Amino acid sequence: MAAQPVMTAEEWFEGMRHARPPTPDDVTILWDGRRLDSRETVMEWVAEVDAKRADEAAAGADAGA
């Protein structure tokens, strides 16, 4: 059975309409404590995720061969 969203996008947007703007400390913090607080740090993290996915796909292909 497919999971159903808790709320629609429209409901979420309506709920956020009156929210205050983010503060400078309103950033994603990874499990290892790194803060994704700039475009550069986000792009570095995305590159790490892409590399890990590529490694996992290669390992899966090797296991299936």
Q: Over the chain (65 residues), what is each successive 10-residue block's mean pLDDT?
A: 79 88 88 94 96 92 74
Measured in residues, the chain has a length of: 65
Mean residue pLDDT of the chain comes to 88
**DSSP state at residue 6:** S
pLDDT at res. 22: 82
Residue 30 inside a domain? The answer is yes
Residue 58 inside a domain? The answer is yes
pTM for this model (two decimals): 0.58
Residue 3 inside a domain? The answer is no
The closest of 54, 57, 8, 49 to 30, measured between CA atoms, is 49
- What are the contacts of 42-50 at 24+ separation with CB within 8 A? none
Residue 4 inside a domain? The answer is no
Number of domains making up the chain: 1
For tokens 């983010």, the residue is: 22
pLDDT at res. 56: 93
Residue 1 inside a domain? The answer is no
List CB contacts of 45: < 8 A, sequence separation 6 or more.
Answer: 30, 34, 36
pLDDT at res. 55: 94
Range of the domain at 55: 9-64
